[in-house]
Structure 1
Amino acid sequence: MSHTVQLGVFMPVFNNGWIISKNAPQFMPNWEMNQRIGRYAESIGFDFLFSAVKWRGFDGETQHWNHTLEPVTEMSAIAAVTSRIKIIASMVPLYLHPVVAAKMVATIDDISDGRFGVNLVSGTYFGEFAQMGILPDDYATTRYDRLQEWLDIVNLAWTEERVTYKGKYWQLEDCQCSPKPIQKPRPLLVCAGMSERGMDFTAKNADMNFLAGKNFGDLTAVALQSKAVSSRVGKLNETATVLVIIIADTDEAAEAEVQYYRDGVDVAGWQNLTQVYAEDSDGKMAQALLEQAKNDVFYAALPVYGSPKTVAEKLAKIALDGQIDALLLTFPDYMEGLRRMDLEVKPEMERLGIQFSTTTTTSAGMGQ
């Protein structure tokens, strides 16, 4: 049995990445690091780079995610220093007018020569919006209605010369937005829809659904459910998931590294994070994270660790069991993790029936 997957990098635009631990590598996000990772990922055949959005961190001893880069501006710069790899940046419709967003996307699509995509973010951390004074009282129940109207306007701005629109949340009168994006019929759209409403919205409006689970079995079930929902609306949307990859020489060394991170868990950071989800979220994503947070340090991404052979076997199983189309990877040490992924893990995955959508020569220089 074979299956083709795309490989993506979840870019480190947040301090300290995805491990909430005092013992994990501590780093601040910056341009030099991100462009180096992006260019290297492109050189070894990765398919896409993904950048999330965050406006308020979780404090704790590590100040987890208190320091973040704005994803659209960061990824537009990375688009200018890469040539093949797809670029995906997160946008929050609540604080971004749809015509402004449409123009921004068209601009970056031009910079990237048709490689730009958008991850639509409707919520999860409502406190981020409240601190700015822009959180509507009914947002928890209306966020997908608002997102649908916002996206309808964006699509019109990408395709029509003049747009007049009378909606509940936005009104346009003979509005012009040119030039249009290079990609036709439109740029790639991504959404993380885990609830029933979220899956339905993503199936109808987007091309890819980012999914999570409290364990690998749960992830497989959610991925297959997402495929079924998109099939019911007459589409075949892709699925993706976020994973923390830890590659060591042996399984024992990898387990020791993971235990070291767990021994240094930032308890206050985790408590603050789970409190945010308890107050602001509903659906499967929130429940999965709350369950995971009880005894782990890996936030919003399942850990995959072991020797190169073991990591390859686990990744192949995840992709094959859930028919997952894209693996979005993060690493404690991005450059070293990407190097070992390229040289040691990918060949093992190919022997297990995994095909990669992009093929390039391995062992590209890490200094690129």
Structure 2
Amino acid sequence: MSRAEPLAPDATSDGKTHFEVLDGLRGTAALLVVAFHIQGITVLFEANRLLLPHAYLAVDFFFALSGFVVGYAYDDRWGRMTVRGFLARRLVRLHPLVVLGAVLGLVSYCVDPFAGDRQNAPWLLIVLGFVAALLALPSAPLPNRLGDSHPLNAPAWTLLQEYIANLAYALVLRRLGVWPLLALTALAATVSAATALTLGSYDTGWGLSNFWGAPVRLAYPFLAGLLLYRVRHRLPRIRLGFLPLSLVLLLAFAAPVLPEVHGVKLNGLYQAACVLLLFPTILVLGQHSSGGALTLRLCKVAGRISYPLYITHYPFVYVYMNWVAPAPASPAATAAVAILLYLFTLLFAAAALQLWDMPIRQRLQARISRGGSTVPPRR
């Protein structure tokens, strides 16, 4: 009887092995932010009633991971790859699920059985919102959507920032050496810290009224992730592992909301420490970490499901919000429905990955390969 082949980490389209623990941590962050949204919507995100009051910082962690991974996957491909080819690859990687999220958001807005008359909006406004959602663009506010800049699928605001970061990388950042990149990262860190200390949190960027905060939240983590990739060989090789680092994320997100003391907004100071110091440290520790077969399997599953889960769960959360809003059920019934919803979003994300995202990406990637999105090597 032959032995089964050992489980291997996932690989990029160029054949590079994924950082398995960082993949897994992306999944951990996605699981935590979904729990935050489901529980938070029942209390309209009142900070002192949240079980994971800092979990929206998962977005900032995603941006840091993105900077690191984009550098790893593409820094050495320029010369064989055009800007157009890079942008096409990023669209193929990200946009099929953006489209699915937009469709889910439209359905949840138009046929929500619990919404009553709270979502009666002019059809033209809904159509324009849907077209914008298909492109990951902000749109005019819709009733009963809490001022979200992307009212049919709120988390899509981060995908717009992801595209902006990818464009900045392709046009400018890929050309920068370590020292100019370090200077930009330091500037972004200063603006980031000033924002957190002024507002008392990083809870900005998601709405039309605070959309200015989106690029502020994007800049430092993405630049820091890219910088850490560029200097990775000069950093200490310290390992901690997937489960301990997942616990660190959980504890960071579950910490209590801190008060203002003598004019200093301690909550903003705490969140700035997470974004500016803790998350880059986790990247450094996670990139060198590994584990046994079980850990690798957990990381692969968590990493694969993280993006489908993040970008498809919120339309279902809207429906849950409308079920809770008019006449709150008992705490036990609300908790039971919340748990069932959480499990459902996981199953739906797995199905979306297998039945929607992967088949579409494979077809689109085949077209890119046939069309020749790279330039021939110089002789």
TM-score computed with the length of structure 2 as normaliser: 0.29
Return the structure number with greater helix share. Answer: 2
TM-score computed with the length of structure 1 as normaliser: 0.30
**Structure having the higher Rg:** 2
